[in-house]
Amino acid sequence: MVVGTQFVGSVASGSTHRWFTWGWPADWNVIWTVLSTTPVTGAPQVSWDVAVERASSTDVTYWISIQNLTGADANIEARYAITNL
Amino acid sequence: MWCNTQVTYSPSPNNARSESELEFNPLNALNVVGASKRFNNPATYDFTLAAYFSFDGGQGWAEAPPFALLSDPDPNKIWSGVSDPTIAWDASGNCYLAALPFPTPSSPFETLGIAIYRSTDGGQNWSGPNFIHASTGDDKQWIEGDQNPGSPHFGHVYCAWDNGSQLAFARTVDAGVTWIGPGAQPVGTPLAFDSFGPSITVSKDGGVHIFWIAGTTIKCVRSMDGGATFSAPQVVVSGVTTLSMGLPAPGGFPEFPGGKFRVLTLVSATSAGAAHTLVVAWADLREGVSRIYYRRSIDGGVNWLGSASGDPLLPWYVASGSEQQDFHPQMDNAPDGRFACAFYEFGPKWSGGPPWIDTVIAVSNDGGATFGDRETVSNVPWDPAVDAPLSHGDPKTTFIGDYFGLAADASGFVPFWTDTRTGIQEIFCGRKLNIGPWTGMQFQGTVPASSTHRWFTWGWPACWHVAWTVVPTTPRPGAPQIRWRVEIERASPGNVTYWIVIDNLTDQDVDVEARFAIFAAD
């Protein structure tokens, strides 16, 4: 198991922002999670979707779409876990 | 892999923070206190210090009320702020912050003396300043407590600083009620006359070891009687190439190529073990780029091992790339006897990239003989040009702090550094993560036919890497029954709440089970 943080960023209020990260070996089992790093109590702040592109015979590109569910900008952190390493 | 926790949430980029320090309460491992500069106007170098405290081991933080400042009959000596944070604990759970008051920019003086603030409640509130020494030559103080129960001087707190080029000294043996110098001499009595940037460490036998830069040497004085008397200064390293010796200094302070922030060679020392091992480290320019060098004694400072000019801290197999500059070493030791050196690494983080900074730690598992266990603490590198105050208001030089914090408790080392990933100079701390997985079932429930139901589960440490899955437990072959998504709320600086939203895709109620997998935890 290998875990890490791939990127940090900010998502504007009420919007969705999409990041991509490329060159991931296709035989890695990768799970993506997203964390809000801006404390706001009382309701969910962000949700995310992961889309995958088979960029070559060996590599994949992950597209991480992060939706800000609130009326304020939110800082985020995108984390990965490679479960078969 | 390290968890990075944001310690400060500044309301404005004007509140840039840097030059941090961190110490654990020896009586309560969950209580840790930090401090840093907190700017009001980065363009004019207008700042004072702020203190931070945690009672959950550093997962969640709060900022203490502002430090009180003193007036003075002399308008040139009215305190504008305090600087150069350094923290120590005594044996009774009192926390001390030694600070350097300074006047308004219109004053002819840059500093005013040494002040001690004391907290008796774990860093939540601080006393008014105890102005223990008045001199406009005072600068670069360091404070350290004797936290060794076996020491005959357990609980003493020692402070050393530069008064001009004098190595000034003070100590308290009564929990901060009074401060005295060596023997019966007054506070500030000099121990040497060529001091720059002292660092104190206290060995398990109660030995007080004070190191400082003296030209191209590093010197040390030692007290074995609780600071009553000190040895004559001893040269422990010779042939140091300080950053001031080889770097351009367009504003008076050295700057790295490609950088605009000021850097200095300051010593950082620590000690551990029954053999009273001492390690002193510094940034050295002898290789043409800045590298961390160190020297070690395994007999309480009587003899020093290795080259007289010191040796590279990092063995070749974990050395930084030739385009990287290693600087600001911070030494500490853990209760299990391990040593660590945290430092900044400045340079491009990918080919052709801009020069940014990673916070790095190198751990020694062999009593300081080698530091081959290197890891990058910062999850993302940070740009030192972002939100950087102007050093003394000089547009030629910016400020990211002349040092940062490193502390340790039984669970490991905790760097405490400046970071601009949010667009503001903030303070972050790091803890090493343990790799799982740990799995379990968090809740069960029922989602009515053709509807959506949302559950939440709170109090999950933000450092933990957690993934969620949901499965139906009501058998119904032939078609999908549910789908789910996870929404997340950062409920506090240290904790998150997960909201699990489950859609029932069928026209019948479905029982479900929500499962978690914790991939890493601190």
pLDDT at B85: 98
Pick B380's closest partner by Cβ from A3, A5, A46: A5
Contact of B286 with chain A, judged by CB distance below 8 Å, is answered with no
Compute CA distances B423 → B14, B353, B395, B434, whole Å.
11, 18, 20, 29
Q: What is the ipTM of this complex?
A: 0.94
Give the distance from CA A32 to its chain's centroid.
6
Shortest distance between the Cα of B502 and any Cα of chain A, in A, equals 13
Model pLDDT for residues B15-53, shown as the tens digit of each residue: 999 999 999 999 999 999 999 999 999 999 999 999 999
d(CA B397, CA B388): 9
> Model-level pTM?
0.95
CA dihedral B9, B12, B17, B22 (to 10 degrees): -20
Mutate to test the interface with A, among B386, B488, B500 (most CBs of A within 10 A): B488
Task: Identify the residue with better confidence: B494 or B125.
Answer: B125
User: Which of B93-127 are b and which e, b meaning 16 or more Cβ less than 10 Å from the residue's Cβ?
Assistant: bbbbbbbbbbbeeebeeebbbbbbbbbeebbbebb
Contact: B380, A39; criterion CB under 8 Å: no
Contact: B488, A35; criterion CB under 8 Å: yes
* The pair of three-digit structure tokens given for residue B84, joined into one six-digit string: 């150069």
**pLDDT above 70 coverage of chain B, percent:** 100
Q: In what order do the strands lie in the sheet with B291-297?
A: B268-272, B277-284, B291-297, B311-312
Residue B511 lies in a domain: yes
Q: Which residues of A touch B383 (CB under 8 A)?
A: none
Residue B274 pLDDT > 90, yes or no?
no
3-state secondary structure of B460: strand
Shortest distance between the Cα of A9 and any Cα of chain B, in A, equals 8
**What is the DSSP-derived secondary structure letter of residue B7?**
-
Shortest distance between the Cα of A33 and any Cα of chain B, in A, equals 7
**pLDDT above 90 coverage of chain B, percent:** 98
Contact of B386 with chain A, judged by CB distance below 8 Å, is answered with no
Contact: B437, A83; criterion CB under 8 Å: yes
Contact: A41, B491; criterion CB under 8 Å: yes
Q: Which residues of A touch B423 (CB under 8 A)?
A: 10
d(CA B429, CA B328): 16
Residue with tokens 């910062």, as numbered in its chain = B378
Q: Which residues of B touch A47 (CB under 8 A)?
A: 485-488
H helices of B66-108, in order, are: none
pLDDT at B172: 98
CA-nearest residue of chain A to B435?
Answer: A1
Query: Residue B391 — very low, low, confident or very high, per pLDDT cuts 50/70/90?
Result: very high
Shortest distance between the Cα of B388 and any Cα of chain A, in A, equals 19
Mean residue pLDDT across chain B: 97
- What is the number of other CB atoms lying within 10 angstroms of the CB of residue A66? 21
Shortest distance between the Cα of A4 and any Cα of chain B, in A, equals 6
pLDDT at B276: 87
pLDDT at B492: 92
pLDDT at B273: 81
Contact: B1, A4; criterion CB under 8 Å: yes
Q: Which residues of A touch B (CB under 8 A)?
A: 1-5, 7-8, 10, 31, 33-49, 69, 75, 77, 79, 81, 83
Contact: B1, A43; criterion CB under 8 Å: no
Domain-by-domain residue ranges, chain A? 2-82
Model pLDDT for residues B236-254, shown as the tens digit of each residue: 999 999 999 999 999 999 9
Query: Residue A68 — very low, low, confident or very high, per pLDDT cuts 50/70/90?
Result: very high
Contact: A1, B467; criterion CB under 8 Å: no
- Residue range of the domain that includes B508: 436-521
pLDDT at B16: 98
Contact: A3, B465; criterion CB under 8 Å: yes
Contact: B488, A37; criterion CB under 8 Å: no
Pick B489's closest partner by Cβ from A1, A8, A45: A45
Q: Which residues of B touch A10 (CB under 8 A)?
A: 423
d(CA B246, CA B288): 8
* pLDDT mean over A45-71: 96
Are the C-beta atoms of residues B211 and B269 closer than 8 Å to each other? yes
Shortest distance between the Cα of B141 and any Cα of chain A, in A, equals 35
Shortest distance between the Cα of B129 and any Cα of chain A, in A, equals 33
Shortest distance between the Cα of A82 and any Cα of chain B, in A, equals 9
Between chain A and chain B, the number of residue pairs with CB atoms below 8 A apart is 83
CA-nearest residue of chain B to A39?
Answer: B490
Q: Which residues of B touch A1 (CB under 8 A)?
A: 435-437, 519-520
Count up the domains in chain B and report the number: 1
Q: Residue B516's domain is classified under what CATH number?
A: 2.60.40
Pick A47's closest partner by Cβ from B486, B496, B519: B486
pLDDT at A67: 97
Residue B98 pLDDT > 80, yes or no?
yes
Q: In what order do the strands lie in the sheet with B373-376?
A: B325-333, B339-348, B355-364, B373-376
* The pair of three-digit structure tokens given for residue B357, joined into one six-digit string: 């900074």
Model pLDDT for residues B445-473, shown as the tens digit of each residue: 999 999 999 999 999 999 999 999 999 99
3-state secondary structure of B318: helix
Query: Residue A34 — very low, low, confident or very high, per pLDDT cuts 50/70/90?
Result: very high
pLDDT at B282: 98
CA-nearest residue of chain B to A9?
Answer: B422
* The pair of three-digit structure tokens given for residue B112, joined into one six-digit string: 């005013």
Model pLDDT for residues B146-180, shown as the tens digit of each residue: 999 999 999 999 999 999 999 999 999 999 999 99
B416-445 residues touching A, CB cutoff 8 A: 421-423, 433, 435-437
